[in-house]
Amino acid sequence: MEAIKTYTNSKGQTLEIFQDSLIESPREWDNLAKMIFFGNHSHLGDNHSVELSDYNSRDEFMEQGAEDVKRILKAAVVLPVHLYQHSGTGISTSYSYPFNCPWDSGTCGFVVVTKEDIRKEYNIKNVTKKLIEQATKIAIGEVETLNQYISGDVYGFELKDQEDDVIDSCWGFFGSDISTNGILEYVDEEWKDIVVDG
């Protein structure tokens, strides 16, 4: 496995960044939302038993399908999830380019948060508008995290001494920006300046 980025400090130690291909799907985590996907991409989401009728167009699927999912699951949040596939796969709740491309994109399903999910998460009885807004942000974030997993935007590091022996390592950092994905929280402070300058 080849490092995609290498940094060196004044002691001759190296911080090597690798793409992490062995990370488990974030759908195995304790999530608030459910990913209800259909067709050839149903394996990307969660297991479910929701069956929808046929729709005449993508727009009808996004609108009527969302209403059907909301009714079937008694959901508080239902957002369409769009998929773009062209030399790689990406998903998003955004319908902007490239996820609205007429050739390489489609709507693969919905991200859903039920009222019962919200009640359990926040240990409350009444589902308020504010909690629905908060659940919506969380659901969008879960789609973004799943997109990073699907597109291989997950990383790890190895810290090596002057003899090239590994003295520390950690994996499973989502996002390619080393200054924000959490890697720098696991190494000594000196690496922050080296990474920023590098």
55 and 89, same structural domain? yes
The answer to whether residues 69 and 30 belong to one domain is yes
Q: Do 108 and 143 fall within a single domain?
A: yes
Examine the domain organization and report whether 138 and 96 are in the same domain: yes
Alpha carbon separation from 89 to 37, 99, 152 (Å, rounded): 14, 11, 10
Residues 189 and 171 in one domain: yes
Would you call 80 helix, strand, or coil by DSSP?
strand
Say yes or no: 120 and 35 in one domain: yes
Closest C-alpha to 112, from 55, 52, 60, 57 = 52
Tell me, yes or no, whether 35 and 64 share the same domain: yes
Q: pLDDT tens digit string along 24-50? A: 999 999 999 999 999 888 999 999 999
Q: How many domains is the chain partitioned into structurally?
A: 2
The pLDDT, as a whole number, for residue 41 is 87
Instruction: Give me the helices (H) in the chain, please.
Output: 58-60, 66-73, 115-122, 129-150, 190-197
In which domain, by residue range, is 174 found? 5-21+153-197
Work out the average pLDDT over 139-143. 98
Residue 180 shares a structural domain with residue 83: no
Q: What share of the chain is helix, strand, coil (3-state, %, to 5)?
A: 35, 30, 40
Cβ-proximal residues to 116 (8 Å cutoff; 6+ apart), any chain: 74
Q: Are residues 84 and 172 in the same domain?
A: no
The verdict on 17 and 37 lying in the same domain is no
pTM, 2 dp: 0.90
Q: Which residues contact 134 (CB under 8 A, 6 or more apart)?
A: none
For 105, the token pair is: 């994109």
48 and 125 share one domain: yes
Confidence of residue 198 (pLDDT cuts 50, 70, 90): low
Shared-domain flag, residues 185 and 174: yes
